[in-house]
Structure 1
């Protein structure tokens, strides 16, 4: 048995290379069961564009067809990311999952329920929690009551409320976790952040993860590929964050100069926007020099292909 201080394979690499195997479903089932507070059984890994494995794929995600303790079947998308435009990306990604897995010619009542689980290595907006949950609700403008399903709709959709029909989003911000595990879900968050599992952890799936994701069990070729993957992630993170901060500071200074004429707040906002664009263009140049293609750079930075090629 590996000891508690031994480093384990990062979960993003595991999702991409290891956990798609049926023999290892117990690890993902454990994580999802703890997160969703219901026993999750994986039925299959869905083949789609988001599951394609490419050597230069910077996005680690997997679409999974699952069944919960109430025998409801739906799709869960699990993905990691280090992007700043992520709120729009998860909306696009969920929409894509829905359309990819809706058979042609069927009614809209057959649209799959999608749960988007996002494990984030950056601070997404302002907030002091480390797990956020988002659903869709319709609230009356005048009396503030919530729109509910009729009895017929409940039977048709096999759902209790409207939110059950729409995508749900879980945002796990690893940086906000203070490494104190108060429950079994926290034990999973600890592992996701630190790539270690303590001896006293009892969360579902962690025992299997500790055995399966032991770095020392990798072949030399697997370890080399993994080390390159980790180095690439560190390079991207440091390059992106350093240029982002630099651009923001430069933009504020530029905004203060323009603010004398346009109003200080407006001027700073304009400067920040220009500074951030400059930072992204600098990042794009470095990515090009590192050998990344324009499509991947566009995905990471939000720049257009034209902006990247002219940078």
Structure 2
């Protein structure tokens, strides 16, 4: 059973919650809560582009971001959930935004045919210098006048660890923070949220369906096991790097990371998480040979 100390940020569960065919209302509520808190207009309709597929997910389907959706007016919304990380995530977030933005431009289109991309990053670690601001929103602005250059770039960071009862947030977004911050006693927290917010009833219903499905709980458990295995590998990698710096022997560190990446790839672990742990690029990992070396070697 996985109900005890259920981790709502588990990628497998979050994709089920936000990217399943019947998740439009829940996803739209999250997106609109974030947008309204940042003073932006809400959307009347969102369409999920990467629908959760149980079979594909269990077999280790690669995804660039956890959730991708399209609005009726053409905006792309991407959502990434990250449980561990550091300042380097800023560049990862920019990369995901850029990939999604350029994907909008087809071969025969003009540059003015590009559509806005809204990036929402849910982080269980502190990223920005805004110590008392759990929700940060970034645009491209002129330095002196503060004029927004374009609405095509919009990036949000929801830093869960910065949230507390005194946080000044749009109330529905505060409810989302409370839900996403659940680490234990999920039932007690959800009872309170369900009473005040209708969308939380839908979330709670989906959770109950999830934990009663053996295939889904198997996927959840497998993801958690891989997650903690990767955390261990990450700690070993950091320790090896520190020892290498101390001894002045850094030449073998990247070769070791190739070997770690190969092992993780053979276990069908998420390619983005492999990249996060080893420091190798997604392209390098995709090009690894079975012996752990690059295809070009």
Match of 2:76 in 1: 75
CA 281–121 in structure 1, closer or farther in 2 if over 3 Å, else same = farther
Q: Distance in 1 between matches of 2:98 and 2:69?
A: 15
Question: What is the Cα deviation at residue 117 of structure 1?
Answer: 0.6
CA 204–73 in structure 1, closer or farther in 2 if over 3 Å, else same = farther
Whether the 8 Å contact between 2:11 and 2:223 is mirrored in structure 1 is: no
Unaligned ranges ≥5, structure 2: none
Match of 1:56 in 2: 60
SS at match of 2:108: coil
1:99-156 deviation digits (Å, cap 9, x = unpaired): 22234423322211111011123443655343322111133xxxx335x5xxxxxxxx
Greater C-alpha Rg? 1
Match of 1:299 in 2: 275
Instruction: Return the match for 2:191 from 190, 199, 208.
Output: 199
SS at match of 2:120: strand
Question: What is the Cα deviation at residue 228 of structure 1?
Answer: 0.8
Match of 2:11 in 1: 12
Unaligned ranges ≥5, structure 1: 149-160, 256-270
Q: Distance in 2 between matches of 1:26 and 1:118?
A: 19
Q: Distance in 1 between matches of 2:239 and 2:12?
A: 30
Question: What is the Cα deviation at residue 235 of structure 1?
Answer: 1.9
Query: How many residues were matched structurally?
Result: 262
Question: What is the Cα deviation at residue 204 of structure 1?
Answer: 6.1
CA 92–287 in structure 1, closer or farther in 2 if over 3 Å, else same = closer
1:164-212 deviation digits (Å, cap 9, x = unpaired): 2x311112233x2355475432221222132634333234622211111
Q: Distance in 1 between matches of 2:269 and 2:221?
A: 24
Give me the TM-score of the superposition, normalised by structure 1.
0.67
Match of 1:224 in 2: 218
Match of 1:188 in 2: 176
2:67 equivalent to 1:91: no
1:268-305 deviation digits (Å, cap 9, x = unpaired): xxx9xx59x94x76555445445347993763333245
Whether the 8 Å contact between 1:133 and 1:168 is mirrored in structure 2 is: yes
Match of 2:116 in 1: 113
SS at match of 1:135: strand
2:35 equivalent to 1:32: no
Give me the TM-score of the superposition, normalised by structure 2.
0.70
Q: Distance in 2 between matches of 1:171 and 1:136?
A: 15
Q: Distance in 2 between matches of 1:181 and 1:5?
A: 28
SS at match of 2:22: helix
Question: What is the Cα deviation at residue 254 of structure 1?
Answer: 5.3
Q: CA RMSD in A?
A: 3.9
2:124 equivalent to 1:124: no
Instruction: Return the match for 2:205 from 190, 208, 211.
Output: 211
Whether the 8 Å contact between 2:24 and 2:46 is mirrored in structure 1 is: no
Match of 1:246 in 2: 239
Question: What is the Cα deviation at residue 64 of structure 1?
Answer: 0.7
Whether the 8 Å contact between 2:116 and 2:153 is mirrored in structure 1 is: yes
Q: Distance in 1 between matches of 2:221 and 2:100?
A: 31
Structure 1 moving runs of 4+ over 6 Å: none
